[in-house]
Structure 1
């Protein structure tokens, strides 16, 4: 027993015939048609789906055909089918449509006595007339018309049924559903003399169409078909001796009758004309003639496919390795002058040569350790002006306090930044700190001017200390402006402590709120 699968690709779908040949010569054919829809219109995908359908679902048990062949009409179909089947595991022969049809006609024996035959294939989207030499299979002449097709027949039937309905009824009828029912009329009239179209609407009965009415409805298409076949036969170098009708349109009895009336030559009709091409491809796949047709999919294309995959993988690996190597060399190689900018920099001006003896002489007595050599002294000067009250008089007491903090030396960049530590308020000293002479080893620091007290600032009430003439006596310690002639206030730049010349000074002034 041998099993072969033949397929015929068309614009409306793919027909498949599963042919089983028994050892006693008997044959069985299972035919299925897979229609194209809006979601699946690619011919190659339809062929692959047909193979899966006919090998796994149609037979009782999953079957692996001994040979497969698919018939194509145009080069576009051949390319689409070859591209789809190359990815599959099946070895499929690519056969021209006319060769597959001729193989089936030879198998039937209907054209054995004729040398030249015109094969008329009436499909859904058009009609093809091929004049061939049935002895050697040579194509003599071929022509195709899209004006004559099965869809034109369906349109005429739909217009006839719609004309029988009232305009108010047509507005409530689903057009797609009605067209599908009109399409079934040509199939039903192939075996019956009468067909009925049901209308899904209340108070509207079915529309009945007889065989004669149907022939009259599609008469324009029949006339165009006869004219097209006649023109093609006249243009052929050899006049056909017989006309064979195949395809879905050949199932309509009115078509065969119209062709017999139009031509004197014999018109060959088949019992199942719509399966002729697919069955012929299945018959051709099991013969020695199949070796003359190219193979796609597994087999000859498999070696080229595997070699291509290996070569592509090697090329991809080489490209990736080159990219990784080039990137690694570039990143690991040190640059001559890297341009690095820190996100932030804290800079403290440092004094690398500090004199502990001088610092110890000017500091307020405390338990803080003496800064080591190379450390920086940050001096914070705070001026505290008390808030006078109504009940108790107070005088502003200028106080200068030196606080020493230790900072680690840091590399100096563009802009200096000073770290400031502000201590809590401490009682003012009763005596001014000693003022040592300047240290010649220390650098010269800029002079810092004390801000003047605003004129609108409230003056504290005078104290009881007065001079003999009634004027208040100046107090050098409490009144910054009451110094005697020739006496320099502590804020003056002439007698600043040595630390102010060798350290960074930050002045913080606390102003009281206005008196209420």
Structure 2
């Protein structure tokens, strides 16, 4: 008996599903799944998923062996990350399928899709929200949009901040913060079916009701409803129903708000967090003698991804960017190279002109050389030739001793006295002809002596 394995890679957990076909009492086959969940904690989700798949494939359950593995991926970035992680584990018998197509496959097999034609998927997980419009007839994703402004991790932090503020506790230890946040996530999950939750722990007691939790998350959920309405408005086909998948779909307030904002039938499948893993298991097909990749895969009709791991040609077209005309690009590169080469040639010619364009006076032979240096007259390209005596060896002159620099204080010179000012010009009487008046020298005044008593 052979089995298939379906895997979905989330930010907080890696989920695995195995189909279990059993006969119903009426004689019809009933589709059921066996589930396994591995929390990522501090590990990278893609690496943990590859290690877990390797362990599962290495196990032997008698005659039950896993013949095929399907792995659901979220976007192009995760597509390359999963490929790298699987290559490190030397695993090649697997298929990568988009999460939207995996969800559609499960909804078809379970019959929950009903008679709807074009559906919208609201996938709220720990790392973000993905909204996709899928054509049921072709399986193509007509429109997709993802945001990290709302996520399950944001809901956990809202609960954590609320509880810490109520208790007046400031957790400084990172271990205590991680433990407290984990219990907040558990409280969020329990509030989907309970009216209130009380979780004691070393870092404090978490006590919160569903009403308090809904008051914290109403604004971000309404924000996501606006995004859903915008995507549905821009869809090239009319959307018939909205399906909620992912762990966030278990929150009752999500379904209520989306139904009132969109006006569409809203369906939440059973165990919405495992829909992608179940669909990946249904789409898994064996890969025989798949060669190990020796180089990073190349994205079809698009540039390399930022992480260095690109998608293979099996990636869906709706995730690939617009095609690029390679001929135009190569022509631009050739023209650019020609312009750069011309610029370098001009710079080189200018450098030659500046380096050798000095005057004859600035170039002279050293005084201690054995033979004079003869330079050619100035021209476009100047060369210098040195005439050596007819001898097989030329002895270099002994180096001259380095000059010794001395410093002498400048002698102070007393400035010369300023010359005497010239005598003033003789006075002139306005209105009369110019003539020189005789200079009259008055006698000194007489000296009077007072009588002494």
TM-score (norm 1): 0.51
Within a 5 Å distance, the mapping from 1:111-510 to structure 2 comes to 111-166=113-168, 174-198=176-200, 200=202, 206-285=205-284, 290=285, 295=287, 299-301=289-291
Instruction: Give the distance between the partners of 1:215 and 1:60, measured in 2 at CA.
Output: 45
Change in Cα spacing, 1:121 to 1:213, as seen in structure 2 (3 Å) is same
Deviations for 1:100-123, whole angstroms, at most 9, x for unmatched residues? 111011122222311110001101
- 1:54 Cα offset (Å): 3.7
Higher relative contact order, structure no. (Cα contacts within 8 Å, ≥ 6 residues apart): 2
Question: How far apart in 2 are the matches of 1:194 and 1:232?
Answer: 34
Alpha-carbon distance in 1 for matches of 2:130, 2:184: 24
Q: Is the 8 A contact 1:126 1:149 kept in 2?
A: yes
2:101 corresponds to which of 83, 99, 102: 99
**CA gap 1:137/1:184 in 2 versus in 1, 3 angstroms:** same
CA contact (8 A) 1:3 1:21 kept: no
**Equivalences, count:** 288
The answer to whether the 8 Å contact 2:70/2:96 transfers is yes
Change (3 A) 1:170 1:300: closer
Q: State the partner residue of 1:5.
A: 5
Please report how far the alpha carbon of residue 268 of structure 1 lies from its aligned counterpart in structure 2 after TM superposition: 0.6
Partner residue in 2 for 1:478: none
How far did 1:53 drift?
4.4
State the distance in 2 between where 1:187 and 1:230 align.
Answer: 26
Whole-Å Cα distance in 2 between the matches of residues 28 and 10 of structure 1? Answer: 22
Unaligned 5+ residue runs, structure 1? Answer: 306-516
Shift of 1:144: 0.5
For 1:11 and 1:175, the matched residues in 2 are separated by 18
Q: Conserved in 2, the CA contact under 8 Å of 1:122 and 1:150? A: yes
**SS of 1:180 mapped into structure 2:** helix
* Partner secondary structure for residue 125 of structure 1: coil
Equivalent residue number for residue 33 of structure 2: 29
Which secondary structure state, in structure 1, belongs to the residue aligned with residue 34 of structure 2?
Answer: strand
Question: How much does 1:63 deviate?
Answer: 4.4
Name the CA shift for 1:199/1:163 in 2 (closer, same or farther; >3 Å): farther
Equivalent residue, structure 2, for 1:83: 84
Range that drifts further, 20-29 or 136-145: 20-29
What CA deviation, in whole Å up to 9, does each residue of 1:430-467 have, x standing for no partner? xxxxxxxxxxxxxxxxxxxxxxxxxxxxxxxxxxxxxx
What's the C-alpha RMSD, in Å, of the aligned pairs?
2.7
Take 2:83 and 2:178, find their aligned partners in 1: how far apart are those partners?
A: 34
Q: Deviations over 1:285-334 (max 9, x none)?
A: 2xxxx58xxx5xx52326x87xxxxxxxxxxxxxxxxxxxxxxxxxxxxx
Judging changes above 3 Å, is the alpha-carbon distance between structure 1 residues 228 and 130 closer, same or farther for their aligned structure 2 residues? Answer: same
2-structure distance, mates of 1:70, 1:171? 39
Q: 1:13 offset after TM fit, Å?
A: 4.0
Q: Find the residue that maps to 1:182 and give its secondary structure.
A: helix
TM-score (structure 2 length as normaliser): 0.58
User: What is residue 302 of structure 2 aligned with on the other side?
Assistant: none
Shift of 1:147: 0.2
| Cα offsets for 1:333-380 (capped at 9, x unmatched) | xxxxxxxxxxxxxxxxxxxxxxxxxxxxxxxxxxxxxxxxxxxxxxxx
Q: Secondary structure at the match of 1:238?
A: coil
Unmatched segments (≥5 aa) in structure 2? 295-453
The 1:79/1:192 distance shift into structure 2, 3 A limit, reads: same
Identify if the C-alpha distance between structure 1 residues 187 and 42 changes in structure 2 by more than 3 Å, giving closer, same or farther. closer
Contact 1:2 1:20 in 2 (8 A): no
Q: Secondary structure at the match of 1:29?
A: strand
Change in Cα spacing, 1:183 to 1:282, as seen in structure 2 (3 Å) is same
